Amino acid sequence: MRRIYLDHAATSPLLPEVREAMLPWLDAGNPSSLHAEGRKAKAVLDEARETLSDALGCLFAEVLFTSGGTEGANLALIGAAIQNLDASRTRILISSAEHHCVLQSGPALEALGYTVELLPVDGEARVDLDFLSQTLDDRVLLVSAMHANNELGTLNAVTEIAERAHGHGALYHCDAVQTFGKKLPGLDDPFPKLTRLPVDLLTVSAHKLGGPKGTGAIFIRAGVKLKPLIAGGGQEREVRGGTENVSGIVGFAAAVRAATARKTSDSVNPRDVFLSSLVEAGFVPTVESRETTLSGHAHLRLPGVDAETMLIRLDREGVSASSGSACSSGSVEPSHVLLACGYSAAESKEGLRFTFGFETSLAEAEEAARRTILVGQQVKAQRS
């Protein structure tokens, strides 16, 4: 049986051109060394930074490489918090539907003396703008609200959030791990330059767009200062110590170039075909409008059926999907995103996330729908 991989939001397969670009650099010199090997590594690092800054629409010096989205978010939040310890700003606002890498920065921020407050979201994981306006004041140091939600694929009103934060002199961090390199709903540009958004800090990760795992980048707008979380030899403008992951960074740049060169197609979106079939078969979509979500995301529930049961059976049927939420000791926890959206604890264990890649074909979408519907029917029949 041919497996169908529908978990691109968790990680996307390494692109062949990325693998090829990386191989010669696995044995790179140290970019900090003065000799020829070091200078060669430094040059390829500069080239990659140029690619990233072009793609993000920012200055060369505004991009620093990290080990991925998690480190980037930690650096944005905790780095800003340490940098501003002496300031009068003691509140940090975080959307309640953020990825764990943002939410779990909370305890460290509290240990530094900050008050961390969770922002409520609507039924589709978007920050409640009225609440944000009411709660913001001049004691807020930073607001963190993601671009697209990794579970639902819905987008926050980033510009409105940033404007409100800036109105009170607060910084705005945007976790753009799910949107970097993707076409966004309502925009024609297949690869929008995300730092044109009014963000101060923006974090991205290579493995969500066909690059290697363990590599990412942070955009730090000129003038914004962060204290390093990894102290070391002054690499990455003294904000992130440690010898750079040269091959990973080269791979990230290759993935970005591949995404930039990709043409969008007007043909029918396999995700839509998949969603329509499942909805017809009794699955309930979590998001009302497909037009406002990332084009590769499908999130549904089969009421009364745990995601865990479905996912194990789907895996046996050769469909790789996800609940989108964390697994601990092999069991699916209630999704904090669905809980924040107002679902009950039981419903929050039912979320199924299918995420499509640019290479997922219509035939795969149809076959995955057939297998998923069959599994759903079998699980339901065994229950009754």
Please identify every residue annotated as catalytic: 327
Q: How many angstroms separate the Cα of 296 from the Cα of each of 6, 27, 272, 273?
A: 9, 35, 9, 12
Rounded least distance, CB 150 to ligand PLP, Å: 3
Which of 95, 205, 322, 348 is close enough to bind ligand PLP by CB under 6 A? 205
Rounded least distance, CB 66 to ligand PLP, Å: 8
Residue with tokens 């493995």: 207
Rounded least distance, CB 39 to ligand PLP, Å: 29
Question: Measured at CB, which residue is nearest to ligand PLP?
Answer: 69
Find the helix or strand (DSSP H, E) in which 173 lies: strand 171-175
Between 95 and 205, name the residue whose CB sits nearer to ligand PLP.
Answer: 205
Which of 5, 25, 31, 68 is close enough to bind ligand PLP by CB under 6 A? 68
- Count the site residues for ligand PLP by CB under 6 A: 12
99 makes contact with ligand PLP (CB under 6 A)? yes
Chain positions 162 to 191 lying near ligand PLP, rule: CB under 6 A, are 175, 177-178
Q: Give the DSSP per-residue string, 230-294.
A: S-SSSHHHHTS-S---HHHHHHHHHHHHHHHHPPP--SPPHHHHHHHHHHHTT-EESSS-GGGB-
Which of 14, 76, 101, 246 is close enough to bind ligand PLP by CB under 6 A? 101
Stretch that binds ligand PLP, among 63-71, 192-200, 230-238, 337-345 (CB under 6 A): 63-71
Tokens of 253: 């740049």
Q: How many angstroms separate the Cα of 89 from the Cα of each of 92, 114, 117, 139?
A: 8, 8, 13, 4
Which of 150, 293, 323, 355 is close enough to bind ligand PLP by CB under 6 A? 150
146 makes contact with ligand PLP (CB under 6 A)? yes
Rounded least distance, CB 29 to ligand PLP, Å: 26
Cα separation, 259 vs 252, whole angstroms:
11
216 makes contact with ligand PLP (CB under 6 A)? yes
Nearest to 298 by CA among 149, 152, 155, 179: 152
Rounded least distance, CB 370 to ligand PLP, Å: 28
For residue 249, give every residue at least 6 positions away whose Cβ sits within 8 Å of its Cβ, in sequence order, or none.
45, 48, 65, 215
Stretch that binds ligand PLP, among 12-20, 31-39, 62-70, 83-91 (CB under 6 A): 62-70
HSE, CB side, 13 Å, CA atoms: give it for residue 225: 5
Stretch that binds ligand PLP, among 16-24, 67-75, 126-134, 314-322 (CB under 6 A): 67-75
Residue with tokens 């966004």: 184
Rounded least distance, CB 11 to ligand PLP, Å: 7
What is the x/- site pattern for ligand PLP, positions 239-278, by CB under 6 A? ----------------------------------------
Q: Give the DSSP per-residue string, 46-76.
A: HHHHHHHHHHHTS-GGGEEEESSHHHHHHHH
Residue with tokens 């460290």: 108
Tokens of 205: 């990760």
In the complex, the residues that contact ligand PLP under the rule CB under 6 A are 68-70, 99, 101, 146, 150, 175, 177-178, 205, 216
